[in-house]
Amino acid sequence: MSGSPALFDAHLHLRDARILPFHARYVKDALDVGVTACIDCATRPEEWAMEVSSSLAATTAYGLHPWYASVSVPNWLERLECVLASDPNAPVGEIGLDGIRRVHDGGTAQRAVLFAQLDLAARLGRPVILHGARVWPLLLRLLEPWADRICAWQLHGINFSHELLALPFFKRANAWFSVGGGLLKPAARLLPELLPHLPLNRLLVETDSPDRFPIGGDPLVLGQHQLLYNQPGNLRCILRAAATLRALPVDELAEQTAQNARDFLAAR
Ligand SMILES: [Zn+2]
């Protein structure tokens, strides 16, 4: 894509088992549309240990995702600290609380796993990538004690009312806001209303691929098979929707969000 700015996908999952067999195609499609850099979230011990080589400039984040909080993995916290020690640039993530999948313990395990990882990130001075699907108001209140103990936050896949920006968390937190395919849902209300309230130099764009296949996006295509997996190439339609809401040229927003992603990773 000569002449177009390089795009930065601020949140995806290169190690997801569903796309590993199609990895080369997934990366080629990304590069074809100009996505050259990404933050790749390794979400559980099997993924932390994986070697993934890719021509995308990928920064890997390591963390135990809330979906795996009740899976019993011996010494998981020590193993996480070990893998972080071996990669001094790695953020901690994605971690958080989840309101999509039903849990049977009232969220106790998710909270314990989250708080342990926040303490680790604070001690090691690492940025945090945060998952708060459907529980953002609760999560942002719970995180208040950590707000300025973490050097940088990426709030990933945000979808909440702009009124939450008045919470005490945001007065002390060094926060970046990552916007994904939710923006393309015809019924989306909160996110289109929130977007103009966010500081332009704190805005990130993400696909969260292979999840969150966006309406109007292109699926990962393999020969005659169309797999409805999301891919980083769909970052362009998310950027277009965000640029319309911010009344900015797409290329300008692409450059700005790529710079913002680099700033987030450099924050210490
Ligand atoms: Zn994710």
Q: Tell me the CA–centroid distance for residue 12 and ligand 1, in Å.
A: 6
> What is the rounded distance in angstroms from the CA atom of residue 119 to the CA atom of residue 115?
6
Average pLDDT over residues 255-260: 98
Is residue 116 included in any domain, yes or no? yes
Alpha carbon separation from 147 to 37, 218, 265 (Å, rounded): 27, 37, 17
pLDDT one-digit tens code per residue, 144-170: 999 999 999 999 999 999 999 999 999
Is residue 26 included in any domain, yes or no? yes
Q: Tell me the CA–centroid distance for residue 122 and ligand 1, in Å.
A: 21
pLDDT value of residue 1 = 47
Is residue 2 included in any domain, yes or no? no
Is residue 1 included in any domain, yes or no? no
Q: Tell me the CA–centroid distance for residue 41 and ligand 1, in Å.
A: 7
Q: Tell me the CA–centroid distance for residue 258 and ligand 1, in Å.
A: 18
Q: Tell me the CA–centroid distance for residue 96 and ligand 1, in Å.
A: 11
CB 185 within 8 A of CB 213: no
Candidates 139, 136, 128; CA nearest to 11 is 128
Residue with tokens 């499609």: 29
Q: How many residues make up the chain in this entry?
A: 268
What is the chain's mean pLDDT, rounded?
A: 93
> What is the rounded distance in angstroms from the CA atom of residue 87 to the CA atom of residue 89?
6
pLDDT value of residue 69 = 93
Question: Residue 99 is part of a domain; what is its CATH number?
Answer: 3.20.20.140
Candidates 96, 40, 32, 91; CA nearest to 64 is 96
Which residues share a beta bridge with 9? Answer: 38
Lowest mean pLDDT among 70-74, 83-87, 208-212: 70-74
Is residue 173 included in any domain, yes or no? yes
CB 62 within 8 A of CB 15: no
Count of domains observed in the chain: 1
For 192, the token pair is: 């289109």
pLDDT one-digit tens code per residue, 17-61: 888 888 888 899 899 989 999 999 999 999 999 988 788 999 999
Q: Tell me the CA–centroid distance for residue 206 and ligand 1, in Å.
A: 9
> What is the rounded distance in angstroms from the CA atom of residue 205 to the CA atom of residue 98?
20
Q: Tell me the CA–centroid distance for residue 32 and ligand 1, in Å.
A: 22
Q: Tell me the CA–centroid distance for residue 87 and ligand 1, in Å.
A: 20
Q: Tell me the CA–centroid distance for residue 1 and ligand 1, in Å.
A: 26
Average pLDDT over residues 213-241: 83
Amino acid at 224: Q
Q: Tell me the CA–centroid distance for residue 5 and ligand 1, in Å.
A: 24
Candidates 173, 171, 182, 181; CA nearest to 155 is 173
> What is the rounded distance in angstroms from the CA atom of residue 33 to the CA atom of residue 24?
15
Burial class of residue 209 (count of CB atoms within 10 Å of its CB; 0-12, 13-18, 19+): buried
Q: Tell me the CA–centroid distance for residue 230 and ligand 1, in Å.
A: 12
Residue with tokens 């135990």: 64
pLDDT value of residue 225 = 63
Q: DSSP letter at 3?
A: T
For 248, the token pair is: 């900015």
Average pLDDT over residues 88-97: 97
Q: Which residues contact 52 (CB under 8 A, 6 or more apart)?
A: 14, 15, 23, 40, 58, 60
Is residue 138 included in any domain, yes or no? yes
pLDDT > 70: percent of the chain: 97
Candidates 124, 57, 118; CA nearest to 87 is 124
pTM: 0.95
Residue 20 vs residue 243, higher pLDDT: 243
Containing structural domain, residue 30 = 7-266
Peptide bond into 210 cis (omega under 30): yes
